[in-house]
Chains A and B, each alone.
Chain A
Amino acid sequence: MSSVIDVVSGRYAWLIIVALLGLGLWATLTERHLIKKLVGLSIFQTAIFLFYIEGSVRTGGEVPVIDPELGSNPEAYVNPLPHVLMLTGLVVAVAVLGVALALAVVIHRSFGTLDDEELSAEKRQS
């Protein structure tokens, strides 16, 4: 338990990330409007990206391009790998969001609403 407290008190960024994760998840699961659900989903995904970026930070770290003065000491640079992973993650998130918005357009054209509970009522009728 104490290790958890150490982690939290040592890294305030974690608190923000956990708060964003919770906020995003809460909005995704409880909002009735489909677009608001997507906003929540985006907040959730962004918090994951921040988690990776936060983990790659080194105090005093430089841009990860080999600098002759600093040499090849890995401690002198921020970790580039999580950044690269999150570039891929961003592309994935954008693609998923695009599909989701396209689906929302189809749903709105067919039912004239984007309210989750009204859609459930439509489903029960058919």
Chain B
Amino acid sequence: MITESTSFLPPLLPAGMLAAAIVAAAVGSWRPGAARWVAVAATLGGTVACAWGLTQVIAGDTLVAALGGWAQPVGIAQRFDALSGFIATLVCFIGLLVVLYPPSVGFQSPPDRKLPVHALVLLLLAGLLGVAMAADLFNLFVFLEIYSIAAYSLIALGGPLGAVAAFRYLVIGTIGSGLYLLGVGFVYFATGTLSMSDASQRLGELGATATVITAVVLMVAGLATKMALFPLHVWLPDAHSHAPPAAAALLASVQVKVAAYALIRIVFEVVPDNVLTAFPLLAIITWAGVGGVLFGSVMAIRQTEFKRMLAFSTVAQLGYIGIGIGLDTPLALIGALLLVLNHAFMKGTMFFVAGSVYEATGRKAISAFAGLGRRMPWTMTGFTIAAASMIGLPPTAGFFSKFYLVLGAADAGGTGTPWTWVVAVVVAVSSILTLTYFVPVLEAIWFKPDPDGDDAPACEARALAVLPVAVLAVGLLVIGFVNVSIVNDLLDPIAVSLLGPRG
């Protein structure tokens, strides 16, 4: 039995991060080092608060806040339910690791320049948490833009080419959020409400009219652009490969996932079933996902620069999430949500490793990893676990998300959706493509001779740079072992509440 109780937690999370961003900017202009500890305190507090909220949610409670004392549907509501709690906890936790990672490595910011990187990270987190909490269509748009503005600035920290990538991302991202805003306008003028639950009910009464379909297509196209779902991913490879490593870790781990979360919310909670079945929206999302998996994997194989390979790999992984959304079966959605969690851990690890390797060797190419297995044993062990998970080897977490996706595709085949066996085959076979682009890296790490000679000194990264890698790599093994309880206690109830009981 799910109850609703009023709580200050949903507005406190984004507002707290926003306040911390202002404090970090003020403190940082006086003493740059102190801003980092403000960020650590804020993200730690956020993680604890989210974890507390999550225990309440698992116990069957939903935390709701009506802003300004105006009850729904007139007022703006914010909700902390199982889905938003899951995403918010992930956002805060990854945020904590990103600010713990040494900023001189992670953001490559020269110590003599007082760049407010931590204020920007907190602003990004505030926007992400705001999107996660939003139960109002326009509120979602505003927070979408808040995190985007912070993301553009963080990408631009990666040097002149980073600024070019940020500018191009800004142009495409603004078109994306513009399309979403236009869609919200159609919903508002058709239904007279902006509250998600209220809009869903009234859209269901209207049925699949031309206005409603236009609204849905515009909102989904906008969010798919923000999420970088193939073929709307064009901004992602440049943006993520030129961003500083810690920023890239944050963007790949949680930022695109929050956009995917918004897409899940809109598709399954706002768009009513009679509209969803009226035109092949979900099929388009599925096949866009399949395209993303194939395109991203093939492009990743062709890259010689490590971060760029990771960026194309993200395009492929977002394709899996698209498949999980589009198949419209509880098992596939569980696979997508589990992948949101796993991929945050995997790509987080890998971008941190990219930062540490660049710090140690000054090189960005995949060949730079030659011989590092001996010289950076801890970092490289973490990377190897993350790579195994990405390929989908049991018992790492990555195996289980693919397992659920394949099961979901098989399940969808039973309901009469055509061609789903192709989806299942693509998910299974793409593991070979993933293997193809990680094997050269693993081979270089463990078997290639070091270009600096076999007696080159160890260059293990400093403790605070190893810590996030270790936490995430161990986390991947832990998620693999406890995935049954994650699925049963958290993800299955979410999938059931969005799609109905699994067949």
B-binding residues in A (CB < 8 A): 3-4, 21, 25, 28, 34, 37-38, 41, 44-45, 48, 51-52, 55, 81-82, 85, 88-89, 92, 95-96, 99-100, 103-104, 106-107, 110-111, 119, 122-123, 126
Contact = CB atoms under 8 A, between A and B. Distances in A.
Contacts of B167: 34, 100, 103-104, 107
For A81, A85, A122, the residue with the greatest tally of chain B CB atoms inside 10 Å of its CB is: A85
A51 B182 contact: yes
Contacts of A99: 149, 152-153, 170
B182 to A, nearest CB: 5
B185 interface: yes
Interface stretch (B155-163, B424-432, B459-467): B155-163
A73 to B, nearest CB: 16
Interface of B: 138, 141-142, 145, 148-149, 152-153, 156, 160-161, 163-164, 166-167, 170-171, 174-175, 178, 181-182, 185, 188-189, 209-210
Given A55-B189, A103-B156, A41 B161 contact: no
A107 B210 contact: no
6 closest Cβ contacts across the A-B interface?
Answer: A110-B160, A106-B163, A55-B189, A103-B167, A92-B145, A107-B163
Given A82-B185, A88-B142, A122-B161, 7 more contacts: A52-B188, A81-B188, A96-B145, A100-B170, A103-B152, A107-B167, A110-B160
Chain A binding surface SS class: helix
A3 B210 contact: yes
Contacts of B148: 96
Nearest to B167: A103
A89 B180 CA distance: 12
A92 B141 CA distance: 10
Contact of B164 (A81, A89, A123): A123
Contact of A48 (B138, B152, B178): B178
A100 B63 CA distance: 37
B337 to A, nearest CB: 29
A4 B210 CA distance: 8
A80 B225 CA distance: 30
Nearest to A96: B174
B166 A41 contact: no
B372 to A, nearest CB: 24
A52 B185 contact: yes
28 contacts: A3-B209, A3-B210, A4-B210, A28-B175, A41-B171, A41-B175, A45-B178, A48-B181, A48-B182, A51-B185, A52-B185, A55-B185, A82-B185, A89-B141, A89-B181, A92-B145, A99-B152, A100-B171, A103-B156, A103-B163, A103-B170, A104-B167, A106-B160, A107-B160, A111-B160, A119-B164, A122-B164, A126-B161
Contacts of A51: 182, 185
Nearest to A56: B189
A45 B156 CA distance: 23
For B148, B156, B163, B210, the residue with the greatest tally of chain A CB atoms inside 10 Å of its CB is: B163
